[in-house]
Structure 1
Amino acid sequence: MLYLLSLTQKKPTMPHTSPSFLPAYDYLVELLSQTDDSDFIREILAALLTEKEQKEIANRIQIFALFQQALPQREIAERLGVGIATVSRGAKAYGQHDINQLLPNLSHLNL
């Protein structure tokens, strides 16, 4: 998953991986930051991620949207048809990052 810079620009939160991973990851971040073509971005994501991984990313975003509505974890799990562990991992990420700033306007998803 893409690493996210905190709004204070302190330190990026990186996935746990070896340093050899970083040049390729940085390349992807730079490439995505240089385009506003959503079809191109969809093609890149389809090439890089399996359908299951794409669904997991979509689920994480939906989990964030439902947390913004202050729904309990169990209700989120039931609504999305995912396990409570999936929602708990989303809750952890939600608490570690300023999701309201990083992913604004999640309310338009109408969940």
Structure 2
Amino acid sequence: MRSVNKVIKIFSEINDPTVMRKLFSEIFTPAEIQDVALRWRLMEMLDQGIPQRKIASDLGISLCKITRGSKILKKRNSVSKRLLNQTTGGRNAGKKTNRKPAG
């Protein structure tokens, strides 16, 4: 777990996309990078309201992975959902909810 925390700390300190891209290419294989990109695309499609079976067909991934992504986006404090709203203007971006803020 200590190694994971180190990597998370390093990643969180990188603010330059060029540096992040270079680091990715140095420590991940092209297939691993594509897998991460595919998982993020899955989250984007779920957030856009695209049906799970269409996502499975379009991306060639299992319904289990898609269901996992869907559950993540439904969580109250989902970081993925927050990032989607910030970076892609997620489906629910700007909508007011009746949920109380965490904390």
TM category (shorter chain) comes to 0.5 to 0.7
Q: Distance in 1 between matches of 2:13 and 2:79?
A: 23
> RMSD over aligned Cα, in angstroms?
2.3
Match for 2:24 among 31, 45, 57? Answer: 45
Q: Which residue of 2 aligns with 1:16?
A: none
Post-superposition Cα deviations, 1:4-47, rounded to whole Å, max 9, x if no partner, equal xxxxxxxxxxxxxxxxx32x222222222222221221122222
Match for 2:49: what amino acid? Answer: A
What is the percent sequence identity of the aligned residues? Answer: 23
Q: Which runs of 4+ in 1 moved over 3 A?
A: none
The more displaced of 74-83 and 24-33 is: 24-33
Provide structure 2 residue ranges, at least 5 long, that are not aligned to the other structure.
Answer: 91-103
TM-score normalised to the size of structure 2?
A: 0.65
Q: Which residue of 2 aligns with 1:100?
A: 81
The more displaced of 81-90 and 54-63 is: 81-90
Q: Aligned to 1:82, what secondary structure does the other structure show?
A: coil
Distance of aligned partners of 1:95 and 1:48 in 2 relative to their CA distance in 1, 3 Å threshold: farther
| 8 Å CA contact 2:47, 2:73 repeated in 1 | no
Does residue 34 (structure 1) correspond to residue 13 (structure 2)? The answer is yes
Q: How many residues align?
A: 87
| 8 Å CA contact 2:73, 2:81 repeated in 1 | no
TM-score normalised to the size of structure 1?
A: 0.62
| 8 Å CA contact 2:52, 2:63 repeated in 1 | yes
Match for 1:67 among 46, 67, 77? Answer: 46
Q: Distance in 1 between matches of 2:79 and 2:21?
A: 25
The structure showing larger relative contact order (alpha-carbon pairs under 8 Å, at least 6 residues apart) is 1
Provide structure 1 residue ranges, at least 5 long, that are not aligned to the other structure.
Answer: 1-20
